[in-house]
């Protein structure tokens, strides 16, 4: 394995593990009724997994602030998402960046949980494409329904 390949694998692992950690933090914030922070970490989890996916399938490192369009386009080009999932991911990313200007009344916890469940499922699915070791796969942070 060359140094370049090792660096790419290290970055994939870093972003993949970051996605897991961010979703676990989102759950902590949800349990404490901190919805804005929950959405912020959910968005960071999605972005981290998209970065890992991008590196895995393009063989290139991601710029410091890549556009979400580029990351989502990579998913689309690999036929890994349908339109519903693509729009959902875009909405989560947008909401996580603009929560305070978009949300006037705090959503009820049940609705947030539904968003987290869907995000959890998507992250697990993408994880199966990003890592080869079954023991390193993204672990659901919510009970799988």
pLDDT in tens, 89-111: 999 999 999 888 877 777 889 99
pLDDT band at 47 (very low <50, low <70, confident <90, very high): very high
Total count of domains within the chain: 1
In a domain, 142, yes or no: no
The domain of 61 spans 3-136
pLDDT in tens, 7-18: 999 999 999 999
Report pTM. 0.92
In a domain, 74, yes or no: yes
Tell which wins on pLDDT, 143 or 85.
Answer: 85
Please report, for the domain that includes residue 9, its CATH number: 1.20.120.330
Gyration radius of the chain's alpha carbons: 15
Question: In 3D, which of 53, 133, 129, 120 has the Cα closest to residue 88?
Answer: 120
């Amino acid at each position: 394995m060359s140094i370049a390949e090792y660096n790419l694998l290290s970055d994939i692992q870093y972003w993949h593990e970051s996605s897991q950690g961010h979703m676990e933090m989102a759950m902590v914030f949800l349990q404490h009724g901190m919805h804005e922070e929950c959405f912020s970490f959910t968005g960071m989890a999605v972005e981290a997994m998209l970065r890992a996916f991008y590196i895995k399938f393009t063989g290139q490192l991601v710029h410091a602030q890549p556009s979400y369009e580029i990351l989502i386009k990579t998913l689309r080009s690999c036929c890994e998402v349908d339109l519903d999932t693509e729009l959902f991911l875009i909405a989560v990313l947008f909401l996580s960046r603009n929560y305070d200007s978009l949300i006037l009344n705090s959503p009820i916890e049940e609705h947030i949980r539904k968003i987290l469940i869907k995000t959890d499922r998507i992250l697990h699915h993408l994880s199966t494409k990003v890592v080869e070791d079954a023991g390193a796969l993204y672990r659901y942070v919510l009970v799988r329904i």
